[in-house]
Amino acid sequence: MSGDRPILEVRGLHKSFGHLEVLKGIDLAVRKGELVFVIGPSGSGKSTLLRCCNRLEEPSSGSILVEGVDVMAPGTNINAVRRRIGMVFQSFNLYPHLDALGNVSLALRKVVGQSRAEAELAGQAALERVGLAEKANSFPNELSGGQQQRVAIARALALQPAILLFDEPTSALDPELVGSVLAVMRELRESGMTMVVVSHEMRFARSAADRVIFMDHGLIVEQGTPEKLFNAPDHQRIKDFIASIEH
């Protein structure tokens, strides 16, 4: 039953900032266990699409369903829905006043209502999953960029979300640190986590994505398997874009 219902369903999503229309009608369904990669030129609306999914941005119109729950409905408890949608940011956004374990366990205590002991146990498990069990008591400023981003992933994972959204997770990282973050994402994919990833990591997309979506000017131009989109897209501008990224 849960197999046929998409985890995330976006219908006719529009978003404007003042007079600027950033999303011009997006339809998207993400199935359980799917890794959807969103690519496109900057300003195409990729990040805004992600940010509308958990209502960090308020959509102008359209509907968004997470596990069948309408995120936009007036009666929906958005904080409860957000527990089910993890988000990983380009700039990590770890809490600098808390150590890694504190970062990962804060929402477990405050949102889920676990005791400190329970939350730290679950938090420790999440840190272990991203390979940072031994960094539990390190503060963000004592961690490398790659480690910080993995803690941020653990923070989202700890809540056991139904879907994880990645907003350019490796763009702020030094090249040699990108691999460690991608390795964690690959492990998540293999364990069946549903993910939507906005990123320019084309090699990762080719090897890990189930589906690639190309966005431009607030619309989905084309979508398909990585082979199709990277090797034989229907649109010339996709070829041009991919060539410009992979120079």
Partner 1 sequence: MQLERLADTFFNLQVMQQYLPKIVEGFFITIQIALAVVLAGIASGLLLALVRAFRIKALNFFIILCVDILRALPPLVLIIGFYFALPAIGIRMSAWVATWLALSLVLMAFAEEIFWAGILAVPKGQWEAARSTGLSFVQTLTDVVMPQAVRLTIPPLTNRTIAITKGTALGAVVAVGEILYQAQTAYSFSYNPSPLVLGAVAYLILFIPVVYFGRWVETRFAWKR
Question: Which of the ranges 23-31, 40-48, 80-88, 231-239 carries the binding residues for partner 1, by CB under 8 A?
Answer: 80-88
Q: Can you tell me the distance from the alpha carbon of 98 to that of 218, in angstroms, rounded to the nearest whole number?
A: 37
Can you list the alpha helix ranges (DSSP code H) found in the chain?
A: 46-53, 78-84, 100-107, 116-129, 145-157, 175-190, 202-208, 226-231, 236-246
Nearer to partner 1, 165 or 242 (CB): 165
Nearer to partner 1, 22 or 238 (CB): 22
Residue 242 in contact with partner 1, rule: CB under 8 A: no
Enumerate residues 148-207 that contact partner 1 by CB under 8 A: 152, 155-156, 159
Gyration radius from the chain CA atoms:
18
Cβ contacts of 103 within 8 Å, gap of 6 or more: 94, 95, 140, 151, 152, 155
Enumerate residues 94-123 that contact partner 1 by CB under 8 A: 94-97, 106-107, 110-111
- The most distant pair of C-alpha atoms in the chain lies apart, rounded to whole Å, by 55
Distances (CA, A) of 94 to 45, 63, 147, 176, 177: 24, 30, 11, 21, 17
Mask of contacts with partner 1, 39-78, x by CB under 8 A? Answer: ---------------x-x----------------------
Nearer to partner 1, 158 or 182 (CB): 158
Q: How far is the CB of 52 from partner 1 (least distance, A)?
A: 13
Residues that bind partner 1 (CB under 8 A): 54, 56, 79-80, 82-83, 85-87, 89, 91, 93-97, 106-107, 110-111, 139, 141, 152, 155-156, 159
